[in-house]
Amino acid sequence: MEIRLYNTLTNQVERFEPLTAGRVKMYSCGPTVYDFAHVGNFRSFLFADLLRRFLEASGLDVWHVMNITDVGHMTDDAVADGTGEDKMQVAARRLKEDKKSGKVDEGAVANPDDPYEVANYFMHAFLDDGRKLGLKVASEYPHRVPKATQFIPEMQQMIATLIARKHAYVGSDGVVYFSVESFPSYGQLSGNTLEALRVGAGGRIDIDNQSCKRHPADFMLWKPDPKHIMKWDSPWGAGYPGWHIECSTMSMRVLETDVLDIHTGGEDLIFPHHECEIAQSCGATGNELFSRFWMHARFLLVEGEKMSKRKGNFFTVRDILSGKATGTPVHPAVLRMELIKSHYRAHSNFTTKGLTDSANTVRRLTELGQRLRDACGGVPKKIDRADHPVTKAFMGALANDLNVSEAMAVVHAWISSPGEDPAEAYGVLLALDQVLGIWEIAANDCQARDPEGDIAASLCAMIDEARRARDFSAADAHRQRLIQLGYEVRSSSDGTSAKKKLA
Ligand code: AMP
Ligand code: ZN
């Protein structure tokens, strides 16, 4: 089966074949761990997960690496000029406030002034969310999930190589910069030109340190700053690395190669992050290519706008799952379905209607799965993916630049008529789910087979919690929500219960 994927580097859909037959080396930019991940972040992470699972189901051995950015970076990270406020400092301040208000457990981070503790706390929160949502790489931690703070010496080595090869220099402010003019193909990924970047520099690139740099688009590799919240000794003074150099270093080191097969991230990372990664990596190795394919997920939107921490219009994974965000708890399998079901190159809108549709899909799939598993005693027939008409159509759709809508159409049609032989159908379900990862999360969780019952139970618990806190308006809102869903609600001294009203 020919696999075709869209490559941001060439702006076209191309045939994909790994450099080494049978093995794919793939790197995904991971989270900056200074806050809980939001569902927009997870759209990018789960896109990479879907791609990885599809490649695996196609018979390839995939080395998938996702990094953790745990170095204290600046809020104006994108330009990597070391301007803005330190993200770990912001996180520490917020954590202290959240502890006071009870939003975060008192025992969660004993010392919020210790940036390592803060980063560690949010890293584990990310890994927990990831495991719940079936993000395979999260279950592989610490294998293939490198932390930036573990690779400082390697980053310094790469910076020294770049200086030796005349791609980097120490500016008059003592900061080590990458010289974009030393790398003629700078701009190849994003379509930027050095001239346009010089003209358009104001606003995006810090003006204060222009005079210290040779070109306004030159970006920081090492910033000496003895007062920085996280700092390391270096030949250029105690300080910290630039954001871009982290990913160049970790990807090549952990994947044990200087040419990757695939590099992924959200669309906002194309410039400057990925453009800079290419310049640094190729500058250091002398190769023309750093990653053969660059793949980017379009943003998840809320009411037409990018969901982002900066804008404050975001929902964390935990607030969605617990029901805090929308008033209705959501099963992880449902959130996963919602985040993978639209094409990665289309903007998708996060809505409650979308979640309801995803809940229906999950319910249909898990009800069928349960029925088939019971009927065949949990013993599936072995399915030849390339040969069985259902899996063949499903994989064929995904081979066309991950056409997930077409693949889901195959799944829906199959759920409606899964065939006569339950062992064969159960085998098909498991084969499909190797990529979907839905049954995998829901199979041993009886609540997921009844997402609505799950929601009702959670709403009852939320009513009791609100009543205990004497927040009667919240209790009433949850009660109304249950009534809307068609439930009869009873509260007694034993707590609240809900029963579906017969139509
Ligand atoms: P961060 O933790 O901010 O470094 O972001 C982690 C990943 O999430 C990056 O690949 C971003 O491109 C991606 N991302 C951030 N916001 C969104 C969004 N609204 N939709 C999709 N991906 C996003
Ligand atoms: Zn990165």
- Spell out the domain ranges in the chain: 17-297, 300-448, 453-500
For domain 17-297, which CATH number applies: 3.40.50.150, 3.40.50.620, 3.30.450.20, 3.10.20.740? Answer: 3.40.50.620
Give me the percent of the chain exceeding a pLDDT of 90. 70
Distance 272 CA to ligand 1 centre (A): 14
- Residue nearest ligand 1's atom 9 by CA: 266
Query: Could you identify the atom of ligand 1 that is nearest to the CA of residue 269?
Result: 12
State the ligand closest to the CA atom of 273.
2
State the ligand closest to the CA atom of 298.
1
The confidence score (pLDDT) of residue 453 equals: 66
- Residue nearest ligand 1's atom 14 by CA: 41
Region 52-79: mean pLDDT is 86
Distance 172 CA to ligand 1 centre (A): 34
Contacts of 9 (CB under 8 A, 6+ apart): 188, 189, 291, 293, 294
pLDDT digits (tens, 9 = 90+) for 461-479: 888 888 888 888 888 888 8
Region 75-98: mean pLDDT is 71
The confidence score (pLDDT) of residue 491 equals: 85
Pick from 63-72, 290-299, 441-450: least confident: 441-450
Distance 40 CA to ligand 1 centre (A): 6
Domain 300-448 matching CATH 1.10.730: the answer reads yes
The confidence score (pLDDT) of residue 465 equals: 84
Main-chain phi, psi angles of 137, to 5 degrees: -65, -25
pLDDT at position 58 over 50 = yes
The confidence score (pLDDT) of residue 106 equals: 75
Does the C-beta of 186 come closer than 6 Å to ligand 1?
no
pLDDT digits (tens, 9 = 90+) for 349-407: 999 999 999 999 999 999 999 999 999 999 999 999 999 999 999 999 999 999 999 99
The dihedral sign for the CA sequence 102, 104, 105, 109: negative
HSE at residue 298, side-chain half, CA atoms within 13 A, is: 14
Region 427-436: mean pLDDT is 98
Q: What 3 state SS string does 181-200 have?
A: HHCCCCCCCCCCCHHHHHHC
Does the C-beta of 29 come closer than 6 Å to ligand 1?
yes
First-last CA distance in the chain? 49
Does the C-beta of 209 come closer than 6 Å to ligand 1?
no
Distance 309 CA to ligand 2 centre (A): 17
HSE at residue 248, side-chain half, CA atoms within 13 A, is: 29
The confidence score (pLDDT) of residue 81 equals: 55
pLDDT at position 451 over 80 = no
Distance 258 CA to ligand 2 centre (A): 15
Does the C-beta of 266 come closer than 6 Å to ligand 1?
yes
- Say if residue 241 is preceded by a cis peptide, omega within 30 of 0: no
Distance 269 CA to ligand 1 centre (A): 8
Contacts of 327 (CB under 8 A, 6+ apart): 477, 478, 481
In the structure encoding, which two tokens stand for residue 473, read together? 């308006």
In the structure encoding, which two tokens stand for residue 438, read together? 């839905």
Does the C-beta of 268 come closer than 6 Å to ligand 1?
yes
pLDDT at position 202 over 50 = no
Confidence of residue 448 (pLDDT cuts 50, 70, 90): very low
Region 27-54: mean pLDDT is 96
Query: Could you identify the atom of ligand 1 that is nearest to the CA of residue 307?
Result: 19
DSSP-assigned letter for residue 77: G
pTM, two decimal places: 0.88
How high does pLDDT run on average in the chain?
Answer: 91
Does the C-beta of 179 come closer than 6 Å to ligand 1?
no
Angle at the Cα of 216 from the Cα atoms of 164 and 189, rounded to 5 degrees: 75
pLDDT digits (tens, 9 = 90+) for 117-162: 999 999 999 999 999 999 999 999 999 999 999 999 999 999 999 9
Distance 405 CA to ligand 1 centre (A): 22
State the ligand closest to the CA atom of 29.
2
